[in-house]
Amino acid sequence: MCGRFNVIDDPRTRDLLETLGIKARLHTRYNIAPTEEIQVILSEDGAPRLRNMLWWLTPGWVKEPGTRYSMFNARAETLSSSRAFRAPFRHQRCIVPASSFIEWKSEDGHKVPYDIQLQDAAFAFAAIWDHWGEGAEAFHSCAIITTEATPAFRAIHNRQPVMLPRDCIQRWLDPEIEGSDLSDLLQPMLPGELEVFASDDHINNSRHKEAPRHLAEPVRLG
């Protein structure tokens, strides 16, 4: 799963945006949690653009927004069958740029947070988006897609966000491509070697917006 992530305006995220032809910069933020507003990249008028969205998908057909159901992640296995996800999956796809994400592992009865980074690049998480409401009440929202963990990642968790390689991003964003033709991108894979840092549990509280405090040298996966 993916329940917290960090974004840093640094050479890695700038390189991701430049690769997509985006001149804007990301805002540095730590310990981003579901229901918060985040920056995503989607295709508008044939080109990638940055847009702010709520990280908690609200289907356009619901009568009113709510958080009764967990809608910040969307399982890859049910994208085509879920009433909430199947329409966005067809043509309303985006990516969530991230510098790292947090995952928890139970160790000796204690939940240990791990800060997970790509060794030399920013993440591009596959996501879907939807639009709700009209006029002043209207907003966009999104969900990060998760899939089964790779054998290497299972040491941390049995699910992982779908992490797109750079050369697959444009294909994922293209609204002319049917979601059903992108199933190969949703398979468990890693876009590169991961660095996994055991971190201080200060980050367990989503109100704490400081950078993760790493407790040891990273373990490498991938």
Is the Cβ–Cβ distance between 142 and 55 less than 8 Å?
yes
> Considering Cα of 12, then 14, then 115, then 202, what sign does the dihedral take?
positive
From 94, 103, 142, 195, active-site residue: 103
Give me the catalytic one of 2, 94, 142, 168: 2
- Distance set, CA 163 to CA 1, 2, 193 (Å): 12, 11, 12
DSSP string, 10-55: SHHHHHHHHHTT----PPPEEEE-TTSEEEEEEEETTEEEEEEEEE
The answer to whether 103 is a known catalytic residue is yes
C-alpha separations of 9 from 23, 24, 25, 117 in Å: 13, 11, 7, 14
Show which residues are catalytic.
Answer: 2, 103
